[in-house]
Copies of this chain bind each other. A is one copy, B any other.
C-alpha cells in the first residue's frame, strides 16, 4: 500500500514510464466497464472480466484473470461462466492443455443486442403480459361493478393502459435494435402521455407509427 503511494508520487515527479502509462489506461478502462456492468444490473467483476479479456490479444486462463483483478479463483470462475451464458465470453480449447482459455466476444454490438434480447426484452414482455391481463380483468370488472367501483376500475384501467403503451413501445424499440429497423421518437413521445391528452392525442400519423410497431410486435409472438 505504502509503496504504491510512493510510486505514484514518483511517477508524477519524474515522468511516467510508457508501460506504466499504458497499464494505467488499461486499469481505468477495466474499472469503467466494471461500473457499466453495475449500472446495467450485472456486477462489477463481470464487467471487469469482460474488459480484461477485451483488452487481451490472446485468450486468458482463469489464473491470469485472478492475478490481473486480484480476485479469488472461485469468484472469477462463477462470474466468467455467467459471462459465458450471456454470450459475452467464449471458451477456447488448446491442444494438449488442460487449462481453459477465454476470450471476449469482440463484436460488442452482438454482445449488447444479445443481452437486450435475452434480458431486457424478457423483462418488458413479462410486464406487458401482466398489464394486458390486468386491463382485461378490469374491463370485465367495470361492467358488473356498481357506481364507485366502476369508477375506480375505469380509472385504474386508463392509467395502466398508458403504461402498457409505454412498455410496448419500449419493447418494440428493443426489437428494432436487435433486428435492425428504424424508429421515430417524435411519435413515440405522445404514446405515453397522460390519459386525457392521450385520448385525443393520437393523430393519424401517430396512429400509423403505432400500428406499425404493434404489428411488428405481434409477429414475434408476444402476447397482445
Contacts and interface: CB of A to CB of B under 8 A. Distances in A.
Interface string A125-149: 0010011001001100100110001
Interface in A154-208: 155-156, 159-160, 162-163, 166, 176-177, 179-186, 188-195, 197
Given A29-B134, A188-B177, A192-B109, A156 B39 contact: no
Contacts of A130: 28-29, 32
B185 A180 contact: yes
Contact of A109 (B41, B153, B191): B191
Interface string A8-23: 0000000000110110
Given A25-B138, A141-B22, A109 B193 contact: yes
Chain A interface: which size bin? Answer: 35 or more
A57 interface: yes
Given A39-B41, A166-B108, A182-B184, A57 B141 contact: no
A216 interface: no
A127 to B, nearest CB: 6
A57 B152 CA distance: 9
A107 interface: yes
A197 B192 CA distance: 39
Interface of A: 18-19, 21-22, 25-26, 28-29, 32, 35-36, 39, 41, 54-55, 57, 106-109, 112-113, 123, 127, 130-131, 134, 137-138, 141, 144-145, 149, 152-153, 155-156, 159-160, 162-163, 166, 176-177, 179-186, 188-195, 197
Ranked 7 nearest A-B pairs via Cβ? A109-B192, A106-B194, A180-B186, A182-B184, A108-B192, A25-B134, A107-B194
